[in-house]
Amino acid sequence: MPKIRSRQLFGTDGIRGVAGEPPLDARTAFALGVALGDWARARAHTERQQLATPEVLIGMDTRESGPWLAEQVAGGLARAGVAARFAGVITTPGVAYLTRTGPFAAGVMISASHNPYYDNGLKVIGHSGYKLADEVELELETGMERWLALNEPATPLQLNSDATLDSRYIAYLAGTVSGSFPFRVVIDCANGAATEIAPRLFNSLGTQVDWIAVSPNGRNINLNCGSLHLDALQQRVKETHADFGIAFDGDADRALFVASSGRIVDGDAVLYLAGSALKRMGRLPNDLVVATIMSNLGLEKALAGRGIRMLRTPVGDKYVLEEMLRREAMLGGEQSGHVIFAEYATTGDGLLTALRVMEIIRDSGRSLDDLAAEISTYPQKLVNVRVKHKRPLSELASVQSEIRAAEQEFDGSGRVVVRFSGTEPLARVMIEAGTHEQVEKWTSRIADAIRAELGAS
């Protein structure tokens, strides 16, 4: 049987890299436009679509490399005879929504999410609103290679943004809630994709907002702000006696929260609050929530207390979404704040998550501190162990012995997750237990066993 070629450029979240360097240089971006354009035209012909010229939507976050990457992709699309519509600065879920509901064969989001400004990425979304299938991405890579081999010039196409696009997305989000939200809130937009959209959305809801990180300059996206850097948000929430705070990441596909006390309310807590609310309303099919192996045991037990079952997947929103689709689940997500409300969206959406949480707080008549206190978080620690080589964990006798001993001691009140990194020479040891002493003890013992078996490099 011939070996099936694997993708070389596309990872789990599109083509990522340092902007200006392969695979995120001008010619490769242009090549993606050509290949995507060819694919869109072939698909339109096969499906006998009536549009004479297929369209592809392009959006970006606030990185300085976004505009020239967008123009290169648009140039490639034009070479293939496909039109590009430019949304300008918009969120990743905004591109997904507009691609799904508009006349677009596909959408391209130019972003590297929570990464520093010098990174960027090209994420392709199908008309369904979901990421393209692996086999389609492989087809695109083949088309890209074909064009690159021609050594033709990559001619960018100047773009003008269509302001009606983000207005449609904002109107959709606002339409998912009713009534006003008379809260005093601090919102951190990470100097990213939410910077232009979030003020227009929340100002329409009767919410008094103190805005931070809303002055992007192309290089300050995620810089000491956003969902990965909550210190400034915590301080501002406490200083201003705000009801709570919200932090988005660079492309606003996730949101984390800070209660009035300064307590961080992560994606696990959001899954609990949303899962409980959906169950009360009879809108949680099969009483099921999908999370990952990294979600805290406290979440699983809190949900069980509400009669809700939790399924775990490998780390990554891709796997969460796949399981949600397989099980027809309405709610899933990760600790990082990447939460998917399948009733409303095909991907995690930080703005949508913020609206859902605000709705829960308003309708409960309670504070976010009180609501979040319903979930008890177990002490958790993650240790990375650098190794010289990788062998199946099942073959590491001493490691397996330590894992069994830990699980026996925990007796259902703790968890052990040991896995290898997919990209680095690391073994990751995550321990969750009833006490900090147990966590320290077993992360140390299991990490030491791995070092003895595989040799720290």
For residue 442, what are its two tokens? 């077993």
Sequence-separated contacts (24+) of 435-441 with Cβ below 8 Å:
435/379, 436/379, 438/379, 438/409, 438/410, 438/414, 439/379, 439/380, 439/381, 440/381
- Edge-first strand order for the sheet with 331-333 is 309-313, 288-292, 331-333, 339-341
Six-digit token string for 300 = 């699983």
Q: Helix (H, G, I), strand (E, B), or coil: what is residue 50?
A: coil
- The amino acid occupying position 17 is G
d(Cα 377, Cα 269) in Å, to the nearest integer?
A: 9
Is 30 in contact with 77 (CB distance < 8 Å)?
A: no
Q: Cβ atoms within 10 A of the Cβ of 359, count? A: 17
Return the residue matching tokens 């810089």.
Answer: 223
Q: Are 20 and 63 in contact (CB under 8 A)?
A: no
- Residue 160's region, left for phi above 0, alpha for psi from -120 to 50, else beta, is beta
Q: Is the peptide bond between 23 and the residue preceding it cis, with omega within 30 degrees of 0?
A: yes
Identify whether 113 is a catalytic site residue. Answer: yes
> What does the buried/exposed string (b/e) look like for 207-217 if buried means 16 or more CB atoms within 10 Å of the residue's CB?
bebeebbbebe
The length of the chain, given as a count of residues: 457
DSSP classification of residue 25: S
Among 117, 349, 131, CA closest to 252: 349
Beta bridge partners of 131: 125
- The contacts of residue 231 (CB under 8 Å, 6+ apart) are none
Q: Which residue is catalytic, options 65, 111, 113, 336?
A: 113
Q: Which of 342, 336, 123, 145 is nearest to 228 (CA)?
A: 336
Cβ neighbours for 47, distance < 8 A, ≥ 6 positions apart:
none
Q: Which residues are catalytic?
A: 113
